[in-house]
Structure formats: structure tokens, C-alpha cells
Amino acid sequence: MDKRNLCLIVTLLLLSIFSQVTIADQPEGKGKEVNAVAPDPGYVALDPLPGTGQERAFCTVQGVCYYRTLTCPTECPQRKPKQNKKQKGCYIDCSSKCEATCKWRLPRCDGYGALCYDPRFVGGDGVMFYFHGAKETDFAIVSDDNLHINAHLIGTRPQGRKRDYTWVQTLSVMFDTHTLVVGATEVSHWDDKVDALIVQWNGETVNVPTDGDAEWSVNTAERSVVVERTDDLNSVRVTVSEVLQLDVKVVPIGEKENKVHNYQLPADDAFAHLETQFKFFNLSKDVEGILGKTYQPGYVSPVKRGVPMPIMGGEDKYQTPSLHSAICKKCRFQRPSSVASA
């Protein structure tokens, strides 16, 4: 009998013992998004409700939700809807919120930790800012003791403008001895029915299946890494246990967008790029990077508030020589030394 089955049986036993216990009303959850998510989901999945298929979970974290069973709402019966990725997923929260709610599993460009458009960030402090950079350059988005993320920018410079318009084409996520790349391929004419997403693990391109579980995963010595599709094509959720989660979507620059912003894009390039929302599980207080530093405790954003395009500087501090280099003036990340040569 494997460990999971054993776990389930123990859980069910406990459940039958404790189901009589009544628990006081839950307090208002505070819902802080910033670097505070438990890496362990804090529950054990139970069999879905017969008939409706609503998934259920038995909470195992200490607190108001301890030993309670949460049931997914009928509008989103599954945590990872597979057939129709246009459905919301059920999100089970065994923290003080103690609830199961429906959530889109796609990046929210206005949410904490967002990186979208020509790059526009929303920091861990909730403050929105733009970062200029330049086309065909790489910048450290996050640099910490055990995590480093670079972004590769693509872009264009319309005639008569002093700077490039830029978008994030590729992210390189480095942790332990590993590198996970998530990016958009170059697309001349965008087609919704074509996957323009690239995923690479330690330099090898991996295929994320589009059916079945629609996910690719690997277990390293330190943690588990999962890349799961959150739509039929061009969207994934990446989870690196105890490090981070990112929701990514590959999108083109549409004709309308091109006109409105006067990007003057060439006719043979859709500028496929990423919309991303990050969630971090274990940042240190000294975390650096264009986005990372906004997660420092007590960080005060230097950007002007109340203007339509507040600009964050720092090009000189965060530019790296290449997509996979963790070297910059403010960078902190170092590969574990035992494998530096690997």
C-alpha cells in the first residue's frame, strides 16, 4: 500500500472521529498576497461528492480550519479543470479564511506580482510601475539567495522615438542547480490555434501535453516542479514547490493595440510575448530585482503616484549579460557551490 492511500485511510478515520466537533465562526481572512503562501497546501484531498463531482479536502493545518472538510462550489467542482480550461478552478484555502472558492487560473495583470504589456509591473507592495529597458536585453526581475529570474525583452523603436517599446519574450527561472525557461516563440502572424509557448528544463525543450493531465512535471532532489496547462494552448501555471508559482499566458500585439499605441510594428512580426503573474513562497527580506525588491519588508516605492505611467529606473543595477546569467550590480543569487561546474 502506498503512502497516499495510508494517509487517506488515517485521514478518514480521524474525520469520522472529529466530525462531531463544532468549530467557532471563522474570523475575517486578511488575504495578504505578499510572500506568505504556505508551500504545503495544508489539506488532504478526499473523494469528490458522488453525483456532482465536487472535490473535497480535509484541512490539516493548525488553526480555525483544522480538521474541517471543505467542498468545492458547484460552479467550479474541480481544483484543476481539465476538459474545459475556460472554467474557473476550485481554490481550497485551509488558512484562517477556511473556504473553497472559484478562481481563474490565468495571470491577472492588475494583481500583485504582475508583469504584462510593455513592461508594466505591479509590485509586492501593490504599486504599479513601468520599466523601460531596451530591446534584446536581459534584466533580473528577481534575485534572491535561492531564486533568480531573468526576463529577455524584445521590442521595437518607431521612427523619431528616443527609446524602444519592449515586451517580455522569455523568463529564465533559476533555483538550486536548475533552470526552467518559459517563453514565447517568434510568430509572424498570430493564430490562436497554434501553441507559441516554449518550456525548457535545464536546456532541453520539454513538451507539455495538451490532453490527459495536460501537465509536465519533474521531481528534483530538493522539490517538485510542475508545468500545467490552464487553457487549451498558450497558458500555463508553473509551480516550483516552496519557491514560486507563476501563471503565464502568451499573447500577441493586436492590430488595434499597435494603432492605439503607435508602436509601428513591422507587418511580419506579432511580437508574441508573456503576460505573467508571480507568487513567491520563500523570499528573503533582502530580495533584489526589478520586481523582487518591491517585496522587501518596509519597501517604499520611489515611483511617482497618480501619473498614468510611473517609471521605475534601475537599468544599470539589474541588467545581466545574458538570459541565463545571474550577474548584475544588485544580484544576490549564487548557484550551490558543490555543482558550480555542472
Ligand X SMILES: *[C@@H]1O[C@H](CO)[C@@H](O)[C@H](O)[C@H]1NC(C)=O
Which CB atom, from 129 or from 278, has the smaller least distance to ligand X? 278
Q: Distance of CA 87 to CAs 78, 106, 216, Å?
A: 9, 11, 20
Check residue 40 for interaction with ligand X (CB under 6 A): no
DSSP 252: P
- Distance from the Cα of residue 130 to its chain's centroid: 19
Choice between 184 and 283, CB closer to ligand X: 283
**Minimum CB–partner distance for residue 243 and ligand X (Å):** 6
Q: Which grid cell sits at 292?
A: 523582487
Q: Which helix (H) or strand (E) holds 9?
A: helix 3-18
Considering only 99, 125, 195, 242, the residue that binds ligand X (CB under 6 A) is 242
* DSSP symbol at 273: E
Q: Does residue 146 belong to the site contacting ligand X (CB under 6 A)? A: yes
What letter represents residue 166's amino acid? T
Cβ proximity to ligand X, 139 vs 280, nearer residue: 280
Cell reading at 169: 519574450
C-alpha distances in Å from residue 185, one per residue of 234, 277, 289: 11, 19, 25
Element holding 199 (H helix, E strand): strand 197-201
Among positions 110, 136, 145, 213, the unique one binding ligand X when judged by CB under 6 A:
145
Window 277 to 316, contacts with ligand X (CB under 6 A): 282, 284
Asked if residue 35 binds ligand X (CB under 6 A), the reply is: no
Q: How far is the CB of 58 from ligand X (least distance, A)?
A: 24
Residue 176 or 257: which CB sits closer to ligand X? 176
Compare residues 282 and 325 and give the one whose CB is closer to ligand X.
282
Interface residues with ligand X (CB under 6 A) are 145-146, 242, 282, 284
